[in-house]
Amino acid sequence: MNAIGGRPSPAGGNNASGFLSRYAELRDSLPGDVCVRDVAAAQLEREGLPRREVEAWKYTNLRPLWDTSFAGGSAVQEADAGPVLDALLSTLGDENAASARLVFLNGLLSDGLSRLPGSVTIRRTVPQPLPAGLHPMLALNQMLSADGVAIEVPAGLDGGRLLVIGLGSAEHAPADWHARVSIALGAGASLSVLQIDQGTGCYLSNAAITVSVAEGASLRHARLQRDAASAMSFALVHAQIAERGSYDVFNLALGATLARFEVHARLVGAQAAVHVNGAQLLDGEQVADLTSVISHDAPNCNSRQTVKNVLQGRARGVFQGKIVVARPAQKTDGYQMNQALLLSEQAEIDAKPELEIYADDVKCSHGATVGALDEEQLFYLRSRGVPVPEARAMLVQAFLLDAIELVQDEPFRQVLDDAIATWWAGRAA
């Protein structure tokens, strides 16, 4: 309870000054409306990046962001990236490899490597005006974003599957990019977005994703975050879901030294649904944070969350999940479960599942458990002849199962399963 609300004034100079001075240099060369960027810059000038005194950043220290001097994103040749992409696709199975895809190289959309879908409209975009009081990472994104796409599925259409692949490479100096993705589904439309982020070197990937789901539309979004070991990986989703619409998102965090996947979802129409699920498997000195704010603004909506952390080494997992039920949101059904498995003496989990409820006819609950592998289960497996590493793997897999099985896209779930198996094989060795 050493939490203190409000925004602190950046002590000891502005901690966003590196980003701000780069903006000053690039201001006139960046695409789009400069006013929109100036608003964001003014905010960062005023407030800097949040420190841990800010409640929402209590458990995730952004210090590495201002301690690293980033040099922007260097251009990557498609010829260099092609083999990397092919290697990735070859591991994803036929169905995924054959799907439409958008490929970003260091935050810039690659026309040559992308394969555009049929029924979905893809447009290049630049930052659009957003209300004042931006999320700090969104402000940073808005100020420096160099490329982005708007994905639109017209009403009534099934947009099928779309892979969004982000490949990063920063071999020489720390790089940063701030990609922008907006996904809009017309009434009754549907789409499955499968996102993979990976790379090499030290970089900051700070994506901002806007989701708009119209009446009766359904968006499925699963992400495999396998960023480079020394990368900082941020993805911020703002979603708005209309009547009977649904947004179903899953984030599997395996990579990066510092990561945060953050979802702000608003259920603005009756009977809308949102599911924010995820798993974080961390080792070494990794810190990964899954933060969500789900706002029930309309009646009869439903939100579900299942979040798992598996922590090795000195890793730290963070889960912050807030459900806000506004006064009109009667008959809300909200449920949230977060569980953590600590596999080493030095691992740490910080969790803050939060309910803020202003409507009386609601059913909201959350549960949290933290613990080690169950010794009794482990012994049972061993007594049947299963060696310790295999027994642990089985139990960890079982622990993750009820989160992973929420990924509805079968071929992509297979990708996630494989990624977990690979991750685990890397530990056990």
Partner 1 sequence: MPAVAETISTVETLGQSTYKWGFETAIEMELAPKGLNEDIIRLISERKGEPEWLLDWRLKAFASWQTMKSPGWGKIGHPPIDFQDVHYYAAPKKKDGPKSLDEVDPELLRTYEKLGIPLKEQAILAGVEPPEGMGAAAADIDDEENAQRPDRPRVAVDAVFDSVSVATTFRKTLAEAGVIFCPISEAVREHPELVRQYLGTVVPAGDNFYAALNSAVFTDGSFVFIPKGVKCPMELSTYFRINARNTGQFERTLIIAEEGASVSYLEGCTAPMRDENQLHAAVVELVALDDASIKYSTVQNWYPGDAEGRGGIYNFVTKRGACRGARAKISWTQVETGSAITWKYPSCILQGEGSVGEFYSVAVTNNHQQADTGTKMIHIGKNTRSTIVAKTISAGRSDSTYRGLVRVLPKASGARNFTQCDSLLIGDQCGAHTVPYIENRNMSAKVEHEATTSKISEDQLFYCRSRGLAEEDAVGLIVNGFCKDVLKELPMEFAVEAQKLLQISLEGSVG
Partner 2 sequence: MSQFLSISGLRATIDDQGSPKEILRGVDLEIPAGEVHAIMGPNGSGKSTLSYVLSGREDYEVTGGEVSFEGRDLLAMEPEERAAAGVFLAFQAPVELPGVNNANFLRTAVNAVRRARNEPELDAVQFLKAARAEAKRLSMDAEMLKRNVNVGFSGGEKKRNEVLQMALLQPRFAILDETDSGLDIDALRVVAEGVKALRSPSFSALVITHHQRLLDYLVPDRVHVMARGRILKSGGPELAHQLEAQGYAGFLAEAA
Give the Cβ contact number of residue 428 at 10 Å.
Answer: 11
By DSSP bridging, strand 363-371 and strand 158-177 are: unpaired
Cα–Cα dist 262/67, whole Å: 22
Q: Are 313 and 284 in contact (CB under 8 A)?
A: yes
Q: Which is nearer to partner 1, 81 or 400 (CB)?
A: 400
Q: Which is nearer to partner 2, 68 or 397 (CB)?
A: 397
Q: Does 116 bind partner 2 (CB under 8 A)?
A: no
Q: How far is the CB of 55 from partner 1 (least distance, A)?
A: 7
Binders of partner 2 in range 383-422 (CB under 8 A): 383-388, 390-391, 394-395, 397-402
Helix (H) or strand (E) holding 112: strand 108-115
Cα–Cα dist 420/399, whole Å: 12
Q: How far is the CB of 283 from partner 1 (least distance, A)?
A: 14
Binders of partner 2 in range 348-377 (CB under 8 A): 374-377
* CA-only gyration radius of the chain, Å: 21
Binding mask of the shown chain, residues 335 to 364, with x at each position contacting partner 1 by CB under 8 A? -----x-xxxxxxxxxxxxxxxxxxxxxxx
Q: Does 368 bind partner 1 (CB under 8 A)?
A: yes
Cα–Cα dist 416/404, whole Å: 8
The owner of tokens 């964001």 is 40
Q: Does 128 bind partner 2 (CB under 8 A)?
A: no
Instruction: End-to-end CA distance of the chain: give it in Å, rounded.
Output: 40
User: CA separation (Å) from 190 to 160, 181, 187, 245?
Assistant: 7, 17, 9, 10
User: CA separation (Å) from 316 to 120, 320, 341?
Assistant: 39, 13, 11
- Pick what 399 binds: partner 1, partner 2, none; C-beta below 5 to 8 Å, kind-dependent: partner 2
Among 327, 379, 382, 388, binds partner 1 (CB under 8 A): 327
Binders of partner 2 in range 178-237 (CB under 8 A): none
Q: Which is nearer to partner 1, 172 or 327 (CB)?
A: 327
Residues in contact with partner 1 by the rule CB under 8 A: 1, 3-6, 55, 327, 330, 340, 342-372
Residues in contact with partner 2 by the rule CB under 8 A: 374-377, 379-388, 390-391, 394-395, 397-402
